[in-house]
Amino acid sequence: MKDILTISERAAERINHLMSLRPDDAEPAVGIKIGVRNAGCSGMSYTMDYAEEVPPAAEVITQRGVTVVVDPAAVMFLIGTELDFSEDKLSATFVFNNPNVTSTCGCGESFAVN
């Protein structure tokens, strides 16, 4: 069985950096929460936020010293995905290398799966 999600070293470093920037007065976070929602021209887009709790039935992935909480509704769309991080002179972004994607929109913000 394939892993739901793997986390690259670059993504883990970025998640650790973001967690370290979280204000002291903010709710404590257990990690990063990943989900999908209906949006964009291709149908779906990824969501990311701080995970302040682990909802029932959520998948928890701990790799490379970071914790990612996957929304139960997103699991079937993410199986086999690698979470990576890319940075260049003009942008810095998390990248979802998802083998289930059948098409993406021109700007790369949304995707479709069969």
Encode pLDDT of 6-42 as tens digits: 999 999 999 999 999 988 888 889 999 999 888 766 5
Structure tokens at 30: 């257990």
Here the CATH number for the domain that contains residue 27 is 2.60.300.12
pTM of the model: 0.85
Picking from 32, 37, 99, the residue whose alpha carbon sits closest to that of residue 59 is 32
Q: Which pLDDT belongs to residue 39?
A: 73
pLDDT in tens, 44-66: 888 999 999 999 999 999 999 99
Task: Please say whether the beta carbons of 78 and 70 come within 8 A.
Answer: yes
Q: Spell 60-73 as b/e; 16+ CB within 10 A means b.
A: ebebeebbbbbbee
Answer yes or no: is pLDDT of 108 > 60: no
Q: Which two tokens stand for residue 24?
A: 């002291």
| Predicted pLDDT of residue 63 | 96
Q: Is residue 109 over pLDDT 90? A: no
When divided into structural domains, the chain yields a total of 1
> Which residues constitute the domain of residue 30?
5-113
Q: What is the DSSP letter of 2?
A: -
